[in-house]
Structure 1
Amino acid sequence: MTELQQGLAAGDAHDTQPQADGGPPAHERILRVVIPLVMLGGLIALWAWYVKAYNVPHYILPGPDLVAQAMVRDWGVLGPALLVTLTITFEALLIALVGGVLIAILFASSRWVEIALSPYMVILQVTPIIAIAPLILIYTSTTQQALLICAWIVAFFPVLSNTTQGLKSTDHNLLNLYELYGASRWQTLFLLKLPAALPYFLTGLRIAGGLALIAAVVAEFAAGSAGAGSGLAFRLLESQYRLNIPRLFAALILLCATGVAIFGATSLLSHLLLRRWHESAIRREN
């Protein structure tokens, strides 16, 4: 064991008591699932009642039964389109995570690099993606590459900004302790700064997951891609042009469910990684 590890172990000797999971009680966890489901059922029932009570034409507002039938009947079309959109979303999110974390480390390590590059990162973030999508289409060889770049641009900045802020928010007393024990820059980065930045990174991940899905759809709208390899955005436009409103609603529901699933998965990951040590996930005892 190195001198650094011995010193840190000695400094943490008083804090070896096990911590509680910190999660909510079992009945509260059940209510968190049951209440939204009951609310969803009530909204669907209200929707069905409104359509039937006022005889709303199906080409204006289809009932839940027609939407469900369209979902099942047209799954051969909607399923592959959803897979295309998901592929673009997750590929863009993965690239954004890797690139955002690496550049955040670079920013935290060199103030001059941050000063030089951060304005251009902000420009990428504030420029509407629908405005630059046609240019990206011109300079890329395939539509799929253009969609991937558009989704990456939108998902990249939340990861970068949150991770950078997390790396800069490391406790100064702990930094002084690491310097006192002669820790190298890499030891300080991997043993202190990155764990301290984890909550910030996970917040950026939750934001970037939803934005990547939105950007993939918006980019496809701007690209005007069509054909067998198109995503849900094209199916939305196609359904609108053909006045196939039940299929349009089915595609919208698939997009909403995908967004909720991404948010739920990233929230679960955040809870699992933070539940035993971070204040945001530990339940107060008083």
Structure 2
Amino acid sequence: MKTPLLHHPDAIRIVSPVLLGIFLLGFWQFACVHWKIPSFLIPAPSEIVRTLIGNWPSLSGALLVTLKITLLAFLFATLLGVCIAFLLVQSRIVEASLFPYAILLQVTPIVAIAPLIIIWVKLQTPALVICATLVALFPIVSNTVLGLRSVNPGLANLFRINRATRWQTLLRLRIPSALPYFFGGLRISSGLALIGAVVAEFVAGTGGSGAGLAYQILQAGFQLDIPLMFAALLLIAATGVALFLAMAWLSRFGLGHWHESQMGN
């Protein structure tokens, strides 16, 4: 017997938030029109869309700048985080020595160190990428280390009994065991890279052709152009959702055929 479409798990995950979003947007539009809420307080969704369309040339250019910084930071955070994780798992002494500094870097607010990085690194784009990379780095390191450590003891003993080399154990046991944790770190890190890019742009506060969405928000705030501010925020939110969905698809592609966390989805 076939499962009705509305009761299918994939359909529920898609239809439910879409219906809720349509309801909330409709209520938002109704509230703004019915109670005549000024646009400088809360603009109606229709006004935000009109502003987005009318300012699309400048907003799309700013989006590309922010997206470039985000993707570069995410790439560097992934590569650097994996390398650090492999270094940490080589020895408990190495992990005990270095991991506290990774935590220290994570808990230090990026707004506190971003001005120093911007001063030290003269070029704007590399400075912003470094700031965003620092924000996105820790989830990759911590999740990958946890995954490399989370090896089934029975399988580890089996590899040991069969005299598998350290390299064979790493490739055939530790890395496959770490993949679910690694993909989880990617989902977190992708969003943090975007947050780090936007925060770094706020701190830099530079305009011109190299300005991102954060500068558009700053300018809209100075001019009290609240619809433009909401339009820029909408693009940032949409970018974050797109990055998360891309990482979720990548996780499903990499784990869907063999790992139990994805096989039931």
CA distance in 2, matches of 1:26, 1:41: 20
Partner of 2:104: 123
User: Quick check: 2:135–2:192 contact (8 Å CA) kept in 1?
Assistant: yes
Are positions 1:143 and 2:124 aligned together?
A: yes
Q: 2:141: which partner in 1?
A: 160
Matching residue of 1:246: 227
Q: Deviations over 1:219-263 (max 9, x none)?
A: 111122222211000000101111111111110111111111111
Match of residue 11 from structure 1: none
The aligned runs of 1:99-110 (5 Å cut-off) are 99-110=80-91
Aligned counterpart, 1:192 = 173
Larger radius of gyration: 1
The one-letter amino acid paired with 1:141 is K
User: How far off is 1:26 after superposition?
Assistant: 8.1
Q: For structure 2, list consecutive stretches of 5 or more residues without a partner in the other structure.
A: none
Distance in 1, Cα, partners of 2:60 & 2:142: 34
Deviates more, 1:104-113 or 1:122-131: 104-113
Alignment of 1:31-180 (within 5 A): 31-180=12-161
**Aligned AA for 1:49?**
F
* Residue type at the aligned position of 2:156: L
- Residue 270, structure 1, aligned to residue 251, structure 2: yes
CA distance in 1, matches of 2:115, 2:46: 39
Deviation of residue 25 (structure 1)? 9.9
TM-score (norm 2): 0.95
Counterpart of 1:63 in structure 2: which amino acid? A
Letter paired with 1:64 = P
Q: How many angstroms does 1:119 deviate by? A: 1.6
TM-score (norm 1): 0.88
Distance in 1 between residues matched to 2:20 and 2:193, nearest whole Å:
27
RMSD after superposition: 1.6
- The answer for unaligned runs of 5 or more in structure 1 is 1-23
Instruction: Find the aligned partners of 2:103 and 2:264 in 1 and give their Cα distance.
Output: 36
The share of aligned pairs that are identical, in percent, is: 47
User: How far 1:120 moved relative to its partner?
Assistant: 1.3
SS of the residue 1:280 aligns to: helix
- Where relative contact order (Cα < 8 A, 6+ residues apart) is larger, the structure is 1
